[in-house]
Chains A and B, each alone.
Chain A
Amino acid sequence: MIWNETKEQMSRDEMTALQSKRLVKLVDYVYHNVEFYRKKMQAIGLLPSDIKGIEDIVKLPFTTKDDLRDNYPFGLFATPQSQIVRVHASSGTTGKATVVGYTRRDLDVWSECVARCLTMAGVGKDDIIQIAYGYGLFTGGLGAHSGAEKIGAMVVPMSTGNSKKLTTMMVDFGATAIACTPSYLLHIAEVLEQEGMINDIKLKCAICGAEPWTEKMHKDIEERLHIKAYDIYGLSEVMGPGVACDCDFHKGLHVCEDHFYPEIIDSATMLPQKDGELGELVFTTLTKEGLPLIRYRTKDLTSIDRTPCECGRTSARISRFKGRVDDMLIIRGVNVFPSQVEAALVEVDEVSPHYMMVVDRVNNLDTLEVQVEINPQYFTDEIRGLESLNKKITHVLSQALGINPKVKIVEPQTLVRSQGKAVHVIDNRKLY
């Protein structure tokens, strides 16, 4: 099934024409409504009228996560606040969150995109789908939720955190689909196996995203649960889940490119890469009203394929992700930057600002250990003093990161010092 045959099966020429028309309108819109873009364009002597079609996109300046931070919270919004009907937020590279705003029409476009993705995974109006992404500021829960409602499926808004309730309802309700992170789904499979409920489920498909996963995890999920698993991609800055999704043929993720124009660039030279060449994924939001972004650098490494897919869709496909350009980690679906840890530790007098993050996956759940050096002048020889210090650091870090790390106090002078590019992360998960 294809949700929107007109848009998902357009010829390349028609798509290019549509994207051209939308880009011209977008550039004019941001020039007149977002001071940040107007100044950026003026600085390079670019006028909206210089953009005549999608091929002119290379003339436009890039946008980064830092730009969102510098204009926190609403500085890049293109509409008055009264037009914004919802905001979401994700982690910034330091203390401040990245805030994104949606108009009513933006929400409609979002649910349309998610509907396309869910349809790609075989979800229809007769399905019962459990949404087990976090609901709240994170885009995962509410984003997937609205798309599933649009399709007319019966939506069970599980959110995260209660695996026992989720598995019980999965069996009792006869849920046929689930949307969650792939690592969480593997954990669910484990719970079902332990409870002897694995043969009682009616699940047929899973739509997994919000973190990178390997081919092996994909195979694992499909074999253990006897279902089909699909990869959904998105990022809050661009929209949220539903920017792209893979179909039955798993030959890359179909991008909703009538709304999000994808480019691949070489992050060193900033020049466009040819189709098939690996580089950084860049998106321009062609139709967004609340927070339109021009050439937003995702820092995700992938390549693009614009040839038609066997599934009948003509939309551009991005390959399975090959890594990140920056040092962002995705831990239990939450974006974590080492710089956040550093900024949080500076606030704690008892420890030095040196740290090491050890990320692992134990029983399919991500774990984060943060090793910190105790500041010798605050050393105490009482266990409970050290334990309360440990609790304090854990609290500070969990407030800053949005996930609970395990804190390990280590001896002074034992962690690697910054010498040029210091290594602050050991990721044992091997996700790429």
Chain B
Amino acid sequence: MVAKQLSVFIENRQGRLGEVLSVLKENKVNILSLSLADTTEYGLLRLIVNDPALGKDKLAEDGFSTMLTDVLVINISHEAGSLQDLLSFLAENGINIEYMYGLSIDGQEAYVVLKASDLKKADEMLAKKGVKTLSSEQISAL
């Protein structure tokens, strides 16, 4: 299942990340996971939140460039080597990973948030294999 990631463009200016977070706080948008990709000039903040659409709207109102991107939130077992197994599986099926980051809940369950070259195919492959992926609705309920 595909989930929505909230992406925000931020310039490398002091306090800018804090401003994004305060907009989310005011609107009670809860962050479950995040990744910050940075260059010398700007950063891309990628978030898994309980309400991505609300987060996008509120940030856009404040002038931020935002977008919702389809990603896979994939369940993996909380043990050494599980991520390696997942990646091998995807590689064998010709799927390139563009970026990924982790998401862990209560130290019990582990997930990776993953953006891949062919997301639909990856989703199907994983479903066939019986790997659990989360939808945005399921994420909201966490």
Contacts and interface: CB of A to CB of B under 8 A. Distances in A.
The answer to whether A and B interact is yes
Interface of A: 374, 376, 379-383, 386-387, 408-414
Given A381-B46, A383-B39, A386-B42, A411 B65 contact: yes
Contacts of B98: 382
A412 B39 contact: no
A48 B65 CA distance: 63
A414 B11 contact: yes
A411 B7 contact: no
Contacts of B42: 386, 409-410
Contacts of A374: 9, 65
B10 A409 contact: no
A238 to B, nearest CB: 41
Given A374-B9, A381-B44, A412 B67 contact: no
A411 B11 contact: yes
B63 A413 contact: yes
B36 to A, nearest CB: 11
Contacts of B7: 381
A158 B37 CA distance: 44
Contacts of B37: 383
Interface in B43-94: 44, 46, 60, 63-67, 69
Contacts of B65: 374, 376, 379, 411-412
Interface of B: 5, 7, 9-11, 37, 39, 41-42, 44, 46, 60, 63-67, 69, 98
A349 to B, nearest CB: 15
Nearest to B6: A381
Nearest to B39: A383
A13 to B, nearest CB: 63
Contacts, number: 43
A68 B23 CA distance: 53
A410 B41 CA distance: 8
Contact of B63 (A379, A408, A409, A414): A414
A411 B19 CA distance: 13
Given A376-B65, A381-B7, A381-B44, 4 more contacts: A374-B9, A379-B67, A382-B44, A411-B65
A413 B64 CA distance: 9
A43 to B, nearest CB: 51
A281 B23 CA distance: 55
A376 B39 CA distance: 19
Nearest to A376: B65
A381 B71 CA distance: 12
A387 B64 CA distance: 19
A409 B64 contact: no
A415 B65 CA distance: 14
Nearest to A387: B39
For the complex of A and B, the 7 pairs showing the least CB-CB separation, nearest first, are A381-B7, A413-B63, A379-B65, A376-B65, A411-B11, A381-B69, A379-B67
Contacts of A410: 11, 42
Nearest to B40: A408
B41 A408 contact: yes
Name which of A387, A408, A411 has the most chain B CB atoms within 10 A of its CB.
A411
A208 to B, nearest CB: 34
A376 B60 contact: yes
10 contacts: A379-B66, A381-B44, A381-B67, A382-B44, A383-B37, A386-B9, A387-B39, A410-B42, A411-B10, A412-B64
B62 to A, nearest CB: 9
A380 B7 CA distance: 9
B142 to A, nearest CB: 22
A383 B64 CA distance: 17
A34 to B, nearest CB: 50
B11 A379 contact: no
A412 B11 contact: no
B21 to A, nearest CB: 16
Contact of A379 (B5, B9, B41): B9
Contact of A411 (B39, B46, B64): B64
A35 to B, nearest CB: 51
Nearest to B63: A413
A387 B69 CA distance: 18
A376 B57 CA distance: 13
